[in-house]
Chains A and B, each alone.
Chain A
């Protein structure tokens, strides 16, 4: 009896495979790319290969993330908010507030006994998301993954007043032309993003334990800026990208086992690892 969670985010696709005792058998991360409809099966194939399993052995598969409807072999779609909440609380049982900063959105979740209770998400724009750093890294001609280290060398606080990604980009150019040191600008960008996300969290009310996930949580500079902005301790999982897929796998297991216990019939799904098509 095996379960899978497939999380198709705007930037990265993540898969987690799990057995009935909740042991993780394999996890895979890969870029989503423009054709995520074509990719879910490929990432799933890799995950199965790593675990030495076949698709037919999967009892239940939950798809999540913004591409969740493009996973033809999934049994059910559950939003990334519920999946993150479940995944995070499996790693940190005392979590009450979780913040996930992804490539396309930022979400703040309140969690009670492992379940999502309320949430807030950023508006439909790049401000307050990983894209904010990605875009400004390009403007500064530095690598996204180096941003945290560069920020740690800052010698003074710089206020980036524009939270709009496009206008912040202009502001960065203006700062550069004024001769401002790169590390100070990069630290300022981290602070700007952190303050934007912190507002989202405050709208819901922050309760400890507080956990930060998503690709942005891999950036130490960002973790530091978030701690300062929120004024409290912040826990970060070892693999902050995987909590959505992990939660999806756990929910797959729970949904399936509950149905089995209650003698409910889950419609059998004939699974084929194929590319999704628009007309299929």
Chain B
């Protein structure tokens, strides 16, 4: 990485070589902790002075090794993640924290543990509903997580350090939201492709370095004169994971992606952890209730037996309404990663919700390989043609 690079160019360099910083930190004596999904409370890793590193898949790498351990008709992202791990691309990790965000994640965690040899491996059992009992249970899970981290680091959890970690990660969330403010103008001051690079860089860095990168990027983007061109459509992409620039560029060839509501976009940053007397309480509340992933079952009133579809849709997708309004979105892409059941089941309802708030939407599927991009392009372009008329 060149010393001079800052902001966007630095984010691009990190995006292209994500593990470099983690390897440097490892060489300097830090412990690097892998995690596969935004449901792992990174604050707790930071509080123990561990460096969180999101283990991602690689769309450009054909899946070969993972096939000896996972079925082929299975979440392509998890297959790709595990494939990278089995090809020793994450061999600098000291440990791995996995979580039951969805079934493929849980099943893969077990395989991951048996095929790799990290000195620490922890699985967080994440409840699937937002009921109050679920919150209590999840809090107890975070208690267990604390204990295994204490054993691993041979240190007690410091409440002060945890509070300060929450503060830093909240600051990161606020900075990402600030970055997304810059896609509000027309043309946006930063492209969806550039944001993808920034966010994927963040998930490979210690929180303080990520915050510095964000601050530099925001400053650069505010003052830039070479921003993206104005395209005929302003798109919201709603997906499980959209974290690759090749696929983002398929959308951005003929549109501006001004909001990426996925784990490669704003999903993990849309709100903040509340400060509570017991910090674990605020963390449990944030990770269970605030992150809007289709893996969580939401309904208008938990336990209610009467049917009210409009209210139900509101409880599941209501947060999109203000996004659509504030970012002046005129098209929504519902991007499904093949075999992703939790998101597939949301698609018909999400379409109904988009219809109800007057946003044209298109359901598009891909299989997390770059070979699938040509048919994807046709579907995206045809959708853009329908909204341009």
Q: Mark A158-180, 1 if CB is under 8 A from B, else 0.
A: 00000000000000000000000
Interface size class of B (residues with CB under 8 A): 10 to 19
| CB-defined contacts of A124 to chain B, threshold 8 Å | 365, 367, 372, 375
Determine whether the beta carbon of B378 is less than 8 Å from that of A66: yes
If A79-B381, A80-B378 touch, whether A116 touches B386 (CB-CB below 8 Å) is: yes
- Interface assignment of B274: CB less than 8 Å from any CB of chain A: no
Which residues of A, 109-156, contact B by the 8 Å Cβ criterion?
A: 115-121, 123-124
Query: With contacts defined as CB atoms under 8 Å apart, how many contacts are there between chain A and chain B in the complex?
Result: 40
* Cα–Cα distance between A80 and B379 once the two chains are bound (Å): 10
- Interface assignment of A199: CB less than 8 Å from any CB of chain B: no
Which residues of B, 344-388, contact A by the 8 Å Cβ criterion?
A: 362-363, 365, 367, 372, 374-375, 378-379, 381-383, 385-386
Which residues of B, 12-69, contact A by the 8 Å Cβ criterion?
A: none
Interface size on A, residues (CB 8 A): 17
* Cα–Cα distance between A119 and B338 once the two chains are bound (Å): 19
* Cα–Cα distance between A189 and B202 once the two chains are bound (Å): 52
Determine whether the beta carbon of A82 is less than 8 Å from that of B365: no
- Interface assignment of B277: CB less than 8 Å from any CB of chain A: no
- Interface assignment of B322: CB less than 8 Å from any CB of chain A: no
Closest partner residue, chain A, to B363 (CB atom): A120
Q: Mark A74-87, 1 if CB is under 8 A from B, else 0.
A: 00011111100000
Determine whether the beta carbon of A123 is less than 8 Å from that of B378: no
Q: How many whole Å from A165's CB to the nearest CB in chain B? A: 16
Determine whether the beta carbon of B375 is less than 8 Å from that of A81: no
| CB-defined contacts of A78 to chain B, threshold 8 Å | 385
- Interface assignment of B389: CB less than 8 Å from any CB of chain A: yes
Determine whether the beta carbon of A117 is less than 8 Å from that of B386: yes
If A123-B365, A124-B367 touch, whether A105 touches B375 (CB-CB below 8 Å) is: yes
Q: Which residue of A66, A79, A120, A123 is within 8 Å of B385 (Cβ)?
A: A79
Determine whether the beta carbon of B382 is less than 8 Å from that of A82: yes
Closest partner residue, chain A, to B385 (CB atom): A82
Q: How many whole Å from B363's CB to the nearest CB in chain A? A: 8
| CB-defined contacts of A120 to chain B, threshold 8 Å | 363
Q: How many whole Å from B374's CB to the nearest CB in chain A? A: 7
Closest partner residue, chain B, to A118 (CB atom): B386
Interface centre among A79, A82, A115, A121 (most CB of B within 10 A): A79
* Cα–Cα distance between A115 and B385 once the two chains are bound (Å): 10
Determine whether the beta carbon of B378 is less than 8 Å from that of A119: no
Q: How many whole Å from B57's CB to the nearest CB in chain A? A: 18
Q: Which residue of A81, A116, A117, A118 is within 8 Å of B378 (Cβ)?
A: A81
Q: How many whole Å from A122's CB to the nearest CB in chain B? A: 10
| CB-defined contacts of A119 to chain B, threshold 8 Å | 382-383, 386
Closest partner residue, chain B, to A81 (CB atom): B382
Q: How many whole Å from A57's CB to the nearest CB in chain B? A: 28
Determine whether the beta carbon of B367 is less than 8 Å from that of A116: no
Determine whether the beta carbon of B378 is less than 8 Å from that of A79: yes
| CB-defined contacts of B374 to chain A, threshold 8 Å | 66
Interface centre among A115, A120, A121 (most CB of B within 10 A): A121
| CB-defined contacts of A116 to chain B, threshold 8 Å | 382, 385-386, 389
| CB-defined contacts of B389 to chain A, threshold 8 Å | 115-116
* Cα–Cα distance between A153 and B320 once the two chains are bound (Å): 55
Closest partner residue, chain B, to A110 (CB atom): B386
| CB-defined contacts of B362 to chain A, threshold 8 Å | 118
Q: List 14 A-B contacts (CB under 8 A).
A: A66-B374, A78-B385, A79-B381, A80-B378, A80-B382, A105-B375, A115-B389, A118-B362, A119-B382, A119-B386, A121-B375, A123-B338, A123-B365, A124-B367
**Top 7 closest pairs, chain A to chain B, by CB:** A81-B382, A79-B382, A82-B385, A79-B381, A116-B386, A124-B375, A79-B378
* 19 new A-B contacts at CB < 8 Å, known A66-B374, A82-B386: A66-B375, A66-B378, A78-B385, A79-B385, A80-B382, A81-B378, A82-B385, A115-B386, A116-B386, A116-B389, A118-B362, A119-B382, A119-B383, A121-B378, A121-B379, A123-B338, A124-B365, A124-B367, A124-B375
